[in-house]
Chains A and B, each alone.
Chain A
Amino acid sequence: RKEVEQDPGPFNVPEGATVAFNCTYSNSASQSFFWYRQDCRKEPKLLMSVYSSGNEDGRFTAQLNRASQYISLLIRDSKLSDSATYLCVCGDDKIIFGKGTRLHILP
């Protein structure tokens, strides 16, 4: 089993819709979780950390399910500018990046 797995997509979603994707991790000792965003031909940038209690930042909600060992990212009222690749990150002493999920928001 891969350490961090994501559906590569692409997810093609109409503007204004809600979209969610998950990321599973294999290391039950993972302590820290994050979502990064990477635009085409740009570097990854931190989108948000994922806390045990879940957290929300505007239209974005991140959640952690330790029992099933996955994290999720929900985007509400999607915008064209949300089109990007979303990378999940899990780790303890070693930080592991997932390969990313591509999201296309359609006008």
Chain B
Amino acid sequence: DVKVTQSSRYLVKRTGEKVFLECVQDMDHENMFWYRQDPGLGLRLIYFSYDVKMKEKGDIPEGYSVSREKKERFSLILESASTNQTSMYLCASSFPGPTEGGTQYFGPGTRLTVL
């Protein structure tokens, strides 16, 4: 059974803090994704990675960076958290390809609040 885990379910940070969100998958998936989900806006892709040390910007990369040093781990970094980054953050993984890439397995999400 595929498992994607995220380091925290709930996180509260202050404006200006550096925030690390970690995601680990156990299915040897090449692709990993970071999304944020906000009411009325749906899932928005922040960054994705299709291989170790590879990363690609998604639709809303501003204010975020990522790191993928190992295949199973994909980290999202908020260099200086701001209140507009308060959101639900979802990590996902998949195999590559148009069909397999659409079969994404999501972690439980991290609800981040920036005060």
Query: Are B43 and A87 interface neighbours, CB within 8 A?
Result: yes
The size of the chain A interface, using a CB distance under 8 A, is 21
Which residues on A sit within 8 Å (CB–CB) of B40?
A: 8, 99
Query: Are B103 and A31 interface neighbours, CB within 8 A?
Result: no
Query: Are A97 and B99 interface neighbours, CB within 8 A?
Result: no
Which residues on B sit within 8 Å (CB–CB) of A8?
A: 40
CA distance A33 to B43 in the complex (A): 16
Query: Are B42 and A43 interface neighbours, CB within 8 A?
Result: no
Query: Are A44 and B106 interface neighbours, CB within 8 A?
Result: yes
Which residues on A sit within 8 Å (CB–CB) of B99?
A: 31-32, 49
Query: Are B98 and A93 interface neighbours, CB within 8 A?
Result: yes
Query: Are A34 and B103 interface neighbours, CB within 8 A?
Result: yes
Assuming A43-B107, A43-B108, is B42 touching A97 (CB within 8 A)?
yes
Give 12 A-B contacts (CB < 8 Å), ordered by A residue: A32-B101, A33-B102, A34-B102, A43-B90, A43-B106, A46-B104, A49-B102, A87-B43, A93-B101, A95-B98, A95-B101, A97-B42
Q: Which residues of B contact A (CB under 8 A)?
A: 40-43, 90, 98-99, 101-109
Q: Which residues of A contact B (CB under 8 A)?
A: 8, 31-34, 42-46, 49, 87, 89, 91-93, 95, 97-100
